[in-house]
Chain A
Amino acid sequence: MTKLIRIWRLLNIPCEEVVRLVSESLDHDLSRGERFALKSHLIYCKACRRYRRQIAAMRDAVREYVDHIEPSDSLSPVTLSVEARQRMQRALDSHK
């Protein structure tokens, strides 16, 4: 009976808990109960399925950026200011 209650609870965790499990699955292995709860919730909840897909896509995109785009992104608008550039050049030149 208590086992049935436990399963019932796992089948009925709210979305707020589910998105936490989605995130935790990226940081560590979930317990069997957590995996069961997550899997069964995602079968019927479109919003949480979409959330999981987008969180996974964000992780993939960040890895792609760090590994392949960031080292040679010459189009980026993020650049040193002229003042910072001059300050650094002076600092380097004075240490010669």
Chain B
Amino acid sequence: MAGPPTSSHESTAKAVSTLPALWVDHHGDALFRFAMMRVRNADTAEDLVQETFLAALGARERFTEAASERTWLIAILRNKIVNHIRSASRQPTVDAGCDSQSAGEAFFDRRGLWKQGPKKWSINPTDLSERSEFWEVFQQCLAKLPPRLADAYVLREIEQMSSEKVCEVLGVSANNLWTQTHRARMMLRSCLEEHWFLDRSPEKRT
């Protein structure tokens, strides 16, 4: 009566196939985190994740088990995020012109010399325990950037798209993009320095 291991094999196969009722439990947080890093707003991120689940529901027959369910859902979400950024970048914003002046002035004097150079720190990628916290601070710093700059940074550095592709999505020239990514890197570096690296330096801990 004791069945051969075929039955357990069957149940494993079943677990791999898509069960939409379990999606929120299995993938909800991961998709939300993925969206938060890229759109930096909880309401927008939730909307995109929900749209992703519904789109996936409609396209379930196109899911092949060659990919993992998570990878498949992330691919749908990534598309929605890029489309969201594409249309957001075509909306007029208040930060369009004014951030261009202030960014450089915050760090350099009139002669273009450092007002205050970078402080000494380095990233230690092996420190596992602090990883999640670090990326939360990183995301908060990203959210503080002017939206256009953050969008350029997300596509170029987080999505690792080519400059050409980012220019196409954002509808900007290459020169424009390089200025945006430059300012974004500069401001992000400074924010991380202030809110992570200096907060945790050994001198401050003791």
Tell me how far the C-beta of A24 lies from the nearest C-beta in chain B, rounded to whole angstroms: 5
Q: How many residues of A contact B (CB 8 A)?
A: 51
Q: A47-B118, A54-B118, A69-B135 are in contact. Are A91 and B50 (CB under 8 A)?
A: yes
Q: Is B34 an interface residue (CB 8 A)?
A: yes
Q: Is A3 an interface residue (CB 8 A)?
A: no
Interchain CB contact under 8 A, A58 and B32:
no
Nearest A-chain residue to B192, judged by Cβ: A58
In the complex, which residues of chain A have a beta carbon less than 8 angstroms from the beta carbon of B75?
none
Interchain CB contact under 8 A, B117 and A51:
yes
Q: A76-B135, A78-B33 are in contact. Are A24 and B182 (CB under 8 A)?
A: yes
Type the 1/0 row for A49-85, where 1 means its CB is closer than 8 Å to any CB of B.
0110111011111111110011101011111110011
In the complex, which residues of chain A have a beta carbon less than 8 angstroms from the beta carbon of B121?
54
Interchain CB contact under 8 A, A27 and B135:
no
Interchain CB contact under 8 A, B33 and A73:
yes
In the complex, which residues of chain A have a beta carbon less than 8 angstroms from the beta carbon of B135?
65, 69-70, 73, 76
Report the separation of the CA atoms of residues A95 and B114 in the bound assembly, to the nearest whole angstrom: 58
Q: A54-B121, A55-B185, A61-B125 are in contact. Are A92 and B23 (CB under 8 A)?
A: yes
Report the separation of the CA atoms of residues A56 and B108 in the bound assembly, to the nearest whole angstrom: 21
In the complex, which residues of chain A have a beta carbon less than 8 angstroms from the beta carbon of B178?
23-24, 27-28
Report the separation of the CA atoms of residues A38 and B64 in the bound assembly, to the nearest whole angstrom: 49
Q: Is B174 an interface residue (CB 8 A)?
A: yes
- Between-chain CB contacts (< 8 Å), 11 pairs: A23-B185, A28-B178, A51-B117, A55-B189, A66-B158, A69-B135, A71-B70, A73-B33, A78-B36, A87-B50, A88-B24
